[in-house]
Amino acid sequence: MNLMITSSKGCQVALVFSTAADQLARVALIQFLLWSSGNSSKVTIERLILQGILVARLVVGGILVGLTRPELTPVCVARTSITPVGIVVPSLDFLFMAILIIRALSKPSKDGTSSIVSSQEVKKRSNALVITGAGFLIWTGVGMTL
């Protein structure tokens, strides 16, 4: 069975499905990390801003899917027809991961200032978020479509 796609139409269909699935998975993982790194069930301005940026990330990801074009140089390769869109998407991913890693490494104290986490349970949770965030950053770096 030959799995090499050699037609432009077949390549385009494969790219649309793979790019859309990739973008949805990234947004879902960021949403999960935002949810799991929250300290309380209160709706705060910070959470609303992050959710707004995530919606913008979802829209830009959809635009990226629409602007992804096939390039048949021996095999089907994804290329973005407008390069700045291919730069904005990973930039937003890196921004989210930086925010989440900072949130995981510090926790608000009772007076509202940040302090380094000390509880053993919170440290384990923070480590899991940092490791997941690091894996996401590697995924973003490897999967950039330019």
pLDDT, tens digit (0-9, with 9 covering 90-100), for 9-27: 888 888 889 899 999 999 9
Q: Is residue 3 part of a domain?
A: no
| Integer CA distances (angstroms), 143 to 18, 78, 90, 93, 123, in order | 11, 10, 9, 12, 30
Task: Note the Cα 9 to chain centre separation in Å.
Answer: 28
Q: Is residue 65 part of a domain?
A: yes
Q: Is residue 58 part of a domain?
A: yes
Binned at pLDDT 50, 70 and 90, residue 125 comes out as confident
Q: Is residue 93 part of a domain?
A: yes
Q: 79 with 90: CB under 8 angstroms?
A: no
Number of domains in the chain: 1
Question: What is the total residue count of the chain?
Answer: 146
Q: Is residue 118 part of a domain?
A: yes
Q: Is residue 84 part of a domain?
A: yes
Rounded Cα gap, residues 122 and 48, in angstroms? 24
Residue 41: other Cβ atoms inside 10 A? 5
Q: Is residue 1 part of a domain?
A: no
Domain containing residue 138: 8-142
Q: Is residue 2 part of a domain?
A: no
pLDDT at position 119 is 67
pLDDT at position 111 is 45
Q: 101 with 133: CB under 8 angstroms?
A: yes
